[in-house]
């Protein structure tokens, strides 16, 4: 088959697969809405590692040494849900003011290591580990509870199907006045609104309570919320 005939065959197949609205066809449009709650199934914390040295190379070396030690300690924990990644790494000249004059203290390097896990007990163990590293400046920051991408994607897909169903039911209610029936879905677009996808639970008291843990429920947070709005057009029969 020549390229010309292949192209014609491809166009015919594409036209046959499309639901084309002819000038005489009747359609109806409506909006469907779905709101669902989704569980926050992940905990995360950022470990801010700082080092100070006379020159950039030594400052970076010291910070990286501590970061490697932290990472090795985390890897000893028996939790397959743990994920680690470096969020930031930078150096700058640190100064302090003395009698209205700046005084150089050296080069400070900061490495931000983000750690996530499925339960707060693991995060608690990680914070305890960092406290036991001698001579290291490690500051836990931004303890938070959030919803994983896996749960978010599944909840979004389920809610989208419900929103289209809602749009169809509303379209049928309107079409009933004309004794028509709603047929095949022709087009649809949607907007996704997500609230409280990341829920900070970082407060000095909260972290202290977490380190003193108990296994209580005082750090449990409310579920996140996803709202899907669909604009759908259906063929009328």
Spatial separation of the C-alpha atoms in residues 193 and 159, rounded to whole Å = 12
Percent of the chain, pLDDT > 70? 78
Rounded mean pLDDT, 157-162: 95
Q: What are residue 224's phi and psi, to 5 degrees?
A: -80, 170
Task: Note whether 179 and 236 are within 8 A (CB).
Answer: no
Query: Using 50, 70 and 90 to split pLDDT, how confident is the model at 138?
Result: very high
pLDDT of 177 reads 87
Structure tokens at 232: 């759908």
Number of neighbours of residue 223 by Cβ within 10 angstroms: 16
Q: Quick one: pLDDT at residue 24?
A: 55
What structural domains does the chain harbor?
A: 25-39+149-197+221-236 (3.30.110.170), 42-146 (3.30.70.2970)
- 1/37 Cα distance (integer angstroms): 54
Encoding tokens for residue 139?
């500051």
Whole-angstrom Cα distance, residue 21 to residue 183?
Answer: 13
Q: Which residue do the tokens 């609104």 mark? A: 193
Helix (H) or strand (E) holding 86: strand 83-98
pTM across the whole model? 0.67
Provide the pLDDT confidence category of residue 82 given band limits of 50, 70 and 90.
Answer: very high
Dist. CA 112–CA 71, nearest whole Å: 12
The residue ranking higher by pLDDT, 102 or 29, is: 29
β-strand partners of 95? 104
**54: DSSP letter:** S
pLDDT digits (tens, 9 = 90+) for 109-137: 999 999 999 999 999 999 999 988 887 89
3-state secondary structure of 32: strand
Q: Is the pLDDT of residue 214 over 90?
A: no
pLDDT greater than 90 at residue 157:
yes
* Element (DSSP H or E) covering residue 152: helix 149-176
**Residue keyed to tokens 């809602």:** 166
* Residue in the structure block whose two tokens are 């914070």: 127
Lookup: tokens for 99: 């009698």
DSSP symbol at 223: P
Query: Is pLDDT above 70 for 69?
Result: yes
């Amino acid at each position: 088959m020549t390229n010309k005939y292949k192209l014609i065959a491809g166009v015919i197949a594409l036209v046959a697969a499309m639901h084309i609205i002819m000038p005489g066809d009747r359609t109806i449009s409506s909006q469907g809405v779905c709101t669902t709650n989704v569980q926050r199934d992940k905990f995360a914390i950022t470990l801010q590692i700082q080092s100070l040295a006379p020159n950039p190379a030594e400052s970076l070396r010291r910070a990286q040494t501590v970061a490697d030690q932290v990472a090795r300690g985390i890897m000893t924990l028996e939790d397959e849900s743990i994920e680690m990644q470096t969020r930031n790494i930078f150096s700058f000249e640190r100064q302090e003011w003395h009698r209205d004059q700046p005084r150089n203290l050296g080069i400070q390097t900061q490495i931000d290591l983000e750690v996530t896990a499925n339960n707060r007990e693991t995060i608690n163990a990680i914070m305890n580990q960092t406290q036991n590293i001698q001579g290291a400046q490690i500051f836990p920051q931004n303890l938070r509870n959030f919803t994983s991408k896996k749960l978010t994607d599944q909840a979004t897909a389920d809610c989208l199907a419900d929103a289209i169903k809602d749009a169809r039911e509303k379209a049928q209610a309107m079409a009933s006045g004309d004794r028509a029936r709603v047929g095949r879905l022709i087009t649809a677009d949607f907007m996704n609104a997500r609230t409280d996808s990341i829920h900070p639970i970082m407060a000095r008291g909260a972290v202290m309570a977490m380190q003193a843990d108990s296994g209580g429920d005082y750090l449990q947070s409310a579920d996140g919320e996803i709202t899907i709005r669909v604009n759908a057009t259906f063929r009328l029969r």
